[in-house]
A and B are shown apart, each in its own frame.
Chain A
Amino acid sequence: MAGVAGGNDFQWCFSQVKGAIDEDVAEADIISTVEFNYSGELLATGDKGGRVVIFQHEQESKNRPHLRGEYNVYSTFQSHEPEFDYLKSLEIEEKINKIRWLPQQNAAHFLLSTNDKTIKLWKISERDKRAEGYNLKYEDGRLIDPFRITSLRVPVLMPMDLMVEASPRRIFANAHTYHINSISVNSDHETYLSADDLRINLWHLEITDRSFNIVDIKPANMEELTEVITAAECHPHQCNVFVYSSSKGTIRLCDMRAAALCDRHSKFFEEPEDPSSRSFFSEIISSISDVKFSHSGRYMMTRDYLSVKVWDLNMENRPVETYQVHEYLRSKLCSLYENDCIFDKFECCWNGSDSAIMTGSYNNFFRMFDRNTRRDITLEASRESSKPRATLKPRKVSTGGKRKKDEISVDSLDFNKKILHTAWHPKENVIAVAATNNLYIFQDKIN
């Protein structure tokens, strides 16, 4: 695959934007997760209102050959409702924290969605026919007296408008005391894990009343708590391996074959702290907000507040690559701490061939890094450039000194506009970027 940025080979251009244009953003409409399915045909988003919206890739139309087809709404359903925890007198938000697709096994699609406490397995299936010609019921639904039925009639399937149904198949509840931050489907296609701040549970997709607690870092005395689990993911190929990251910037790799309880890790990835950049905020900015295995399973990528790191699973003492996402914020950490932005959880993703990575930033900027050329680019998700096929102009933030034309100064960045969630099509150069309540879809320009 070609480079992300810049080469001459291709550029990113606008494809679509979803969501209201209003300046007024309803809290419930804020997108809280974005996820392509394994084929890239479907794209799911979850929002703070507990809804899941699934977009489907439409085939290329003949009259617009330059576009690779668009994503259109396929199904929308309410996945989670707000609840109230009467024991704690606290509300349980309906916000969808994560969505994970299951590998497709048949015509239907399955996905897991979770809020802070409860995970649900949804089946999304199509229906475009219905059975007609029963002689067992009257039209109003009353059963016909069997004695009056004299002949055998076989119902026939009649075509009807396509209907997409989403039905909850399993509800995995009551297993998490803390907030669920990750779910990850295992490569055995039968199990998945769910992680909250202090524990990781392993589930069977068919069994809802039981899960296995495989990691528990809760200290006996909560006053001694200094570290929490921030993310966890299963290895894409080895079903016994998973990793989890912590608020101290470390990643632990565990092997479920070693023991049923994985409190003791097999590998421990940590980069020694650079004493020259030490500050009050060192720990906070080193907290890992997302961890993702590469498709190959050889690498994993972690996102902390200021950077993205790529780790080779065979080297624990430092990452093989480190990319600065918005280093210019280092001098602003105090303000970012004060306004809580420093706790924002940016996610990251790989492209289909693991040659490039993408993650978000503030001011509706998102960043891509080409691992081969080491080139990086900053792009902006904005309505201003949202004409079909409009090429995205690289953006630049001026870091001190004179601001050049076309540059934006650090001080004028809008910290309310942040891109936390992005997704990369597993096979093509199509990306989905969640900017508050809008979902932007970009693709590379075909020359």
Chain B
Amino acid sequence: MFSKGAKRKLDEDEEVLEGKTLEASAAGGGFGLGHEGLSKVSYTLQRQTIFNISLMKLYSQRPLNEPSLERRVLINNMLRRIQDELKQEGSLRPLLLPPSPPPDDPMDEGFREAPPTFGVLSAAVTAQVSPPSALLMPMIIPPPSPHPSVPPACPPPLDVCLTPASLLEDDSADSSFCTSSPPTPPLSPPPLQSQTSAAISPPPASSSDVSDMALRPSTAINRTAAANSMTVTTSLTPTTLTHASHLTASSPASLGPAKDCRTSGSKTEAACVSLAEGCCAELRPMDALPAVAPVAPLDLYPSHSPHSTPSGFLTDLALDDVLFADIDTSMYDFDPCVTAGVVSVSAGTSLTKMSPVVTADDLLKSLTAPYSSPTPQVSANQPFKIDLTELDHIMEVLVGS
């Protein structure tokens, strides 16, 4: 702690910010028992913040000394707990989980149209997700932590949360996650990541991932779909839609793959990837709310077939993209240690800095590529300015700030 004494001022600033969040959550009654809207929102927000902090903690260690096992276990338990909670809420799951297809069932139209096993989406609409958190996120996460090199981390998809466990393996050769980790890509995250990269910029370098993912033809398909949607940036093409519905539909089945990922012990890359894709995954549900709300929840059901989707859903997606881009830029701006133009991605920087060993080529590529070309995001941002301010307003009302 002493070494961090210099950062005291910053810490205080952020405490103020945090205090607000905490107060809000306290007012709401903690576990969302009180005021439907507000409490839920602040609770989700707090959870999100904690989640982000936890991830940063796990992946931003200085590998000089062996890190404390107790600390790692406790942080890991925290992540597990939040993850379990998300699972129980169910509604978040489909949107949070990376669209990993079932192992032996390559994703196709038929699968997508398979009836959902439960009313995930309807639940999602009933205020399970908080719109503000998505917007607040960039403001809250930023340069808070004692780890200056760590940028705002975004929540990873659920199965990635599990990966830290593998890091605990101490007796094995790759005891410290920072130094070891052969470039084994996680099994399931990549699909989402592909969206991420696609959404942010043309999906260039992640191709290495694709090859690694050869097990899953579906991944590739999905990727291209996402890419398409993004190369057309502003226009909401049916592809985006398909992609989204695919997200929801596949989720029930994605439990299996999630487990795979866990046992496979996806390592550092998974983490990095998760940071990036987390944004994407997390934001979708969040901002989906305001726009979707007017639409009757049930309407979403039909959306499993891509063609029957109500227009409201389309708008969401558009907003997603905007928010997504927006947040991404903010990440970009916030990172204090970016020497202009260098990899700004938090996870990327911190990890590469800490342990050069990790710098597997594909990791670097996949990380740097999307972020080093910020231009597309900016352009994508423009057309949706209005929507953003609207959202801002809604959020203000909700939070009452």
> Contact residue range for chain B?
35 or more
Contact of A287 among B18, B19, B69, B74 (CB under 8 A): B74
In the complex, the chain A residue whose C-beta lies closest to that of B168 is A222
B176 contacts A30, CB within 8 Å?
no
Binding site of A, secondary structure by majority: helix, strand, loop or mixed?
loop
Contact of B82 among A25, A280, A340, A418 (CB under 8 A): A280
- Kindly state whether residue A284 has any CB partner on chain B within 8 Å: yes
Which residues from chain B sit less than 8 Å from chain A, CB to CB? 1-5, 8, 11-12, 14-15, 18-19, 21-22, 26, 30-31, 46-47, 49-50, 53, 57, 63-66, 68-71, 73-74, 76-78, 80-82, 144-146, 162, 165-166, 168-172, 175-176, 179, 262-263, 265
Q: Check A270 for interface membership: any CB of B closer than 8 A.
A: no
What's the interface size class on A, roughly?
35 or more
A420 to chain B, nearest CB (A): 11
Q: Which residues of the partner chain B approach A247 to less than 8 Å between Cβ atoms?
A: 70, 73-74
Residue with the highest number of chain A CB atoms closer than 10 Å, among B77, B82, B145 = B77
In the complex, A445 Cα to B74 Cα: how many Å?
43
Interface contacts beyond A92-B66, A283-B78: sample of 16 additional A-B pairs, CB < 8 Å, sorted by A: A88-B175, A90-B64, A90-B175, A91-B64, A222-B172, A223-B262, A226-B73, A247-B73, A247-B74, A278-B30, A278-B31, A287-B70, A334-B22, A334-B53, A340-B57, A343-B68
Q: CB distance B145 to A177 under 8 Å?
A: no
* Cα(A284)–Cα(B72), bound, Å: 11
A90 surroundings in chain B (CB, below 8 A):
63-66, 175-176
| B81 and A280 contact, CB distance less than 8 A | yes
Residue on A nearest B164 in the bound complex, by CB: A223
17 pairs of residues in contact across A and B, judged by CB atoms under 8 Å: A90-B66, A177-B171, A198-B69, A222-B172, A226-B76, A279-B30, A280-B46, A280-B47, A287-B70, A334-B46, A337-B50, A338-B14, A339-B146, A340-B57, A416-B4, A416-B8, A436-B2
- What residues of B have a CB within 8 angstroms of the CB of A334 in the complex? 18, 21-22, 46, 49-50, 53
Cα of A411 to Cα of B26 in the assembled complex, Å: 18
User: In the complex, are the beta carbons of A179 and B22 less than 8 A apart?
Assistant: no
Q: Which of B15, B18, B64 has the most CB of A within 10 A?
A: B15
Residues of B within 8 A of A281 (CB): 78
CB <8 Å contact, A30 and B69: no
The smallest C-beta distance from A397 to any residue of chain B, in angstroms, reads 16
Min Cβ gap A77→B in Å is 23
Residues of A within 8 A of B176 (CB): 88-90
A306 at the interface (CB under 8 A from B): no
Contacts of B5 in A (CB 8 A): 416
Q: Are B18 and A335 in contact (CB under 8 A)?
A: yes
Given contacts A30-B2, A338-B53, contact A89 B179 (CB under 8 A): yes
Tell me if A312 is interfacial: C-beta within 8 Å of chain B.
no
Nearest chain-B residue to A27 (Cβ)? B2
Q: Are A228 and B70 in contact (CB under 8 A)?
A: yes
